[in-house]
Amino acid sequence: MNILEKKLRRKKRVREKIKGTNDRPRLSVFRSNSIMYAQIIDDGKKTTMLGVSEKNAENKITGTKTERAKSLGLLLAKKAIAKKIKTVIFDRGNYKYHGRVKALAEGAREGGLIF
């Protein structure tokens, strides 16, 4: 089993247990080597309610990758609360809950999201 197959198995295992609804949408995280993306998804309607990334942030986010992830989480929480989204289900995808993924989650919690 190669690395790609292992990632797909982990992703499938996590997504089987997590379903986003209109009341409690899913906060999905994607990280590349340089940029992080996060979006809030309603799986019932199959729509993305809100999405942010380091590329399309209003102010340029600076610092280390972990610091940028935390400030991205704060930005996501601010936009979500403006759209009256307060509770979400965190979907880490095929990533371990540490480093940049954990920093994004902590930033979103500090910003006011509940999960």
Query: Domain ranges in the chain?
Result: 3-111
Q: Is CATH 3.30.420.100 correct for 3-111?
A: yes
Flag residues of the chain having pLDDT under 70: none
Mapped onto helix, strand or coil, the DSSP state of residue 26 is strand
- Confirm if 30 and 36 have CB atoms less than 8 A apart: yes
- Position 15 scores a pLDDT of 86
Say if pTM beats, i.e. exceeds, 0.85: yes
- Position 33 scores a pLDDT of 94
- Position 66 scores a pLDDT of 95
- Position 103 scores a pLDDT of 97
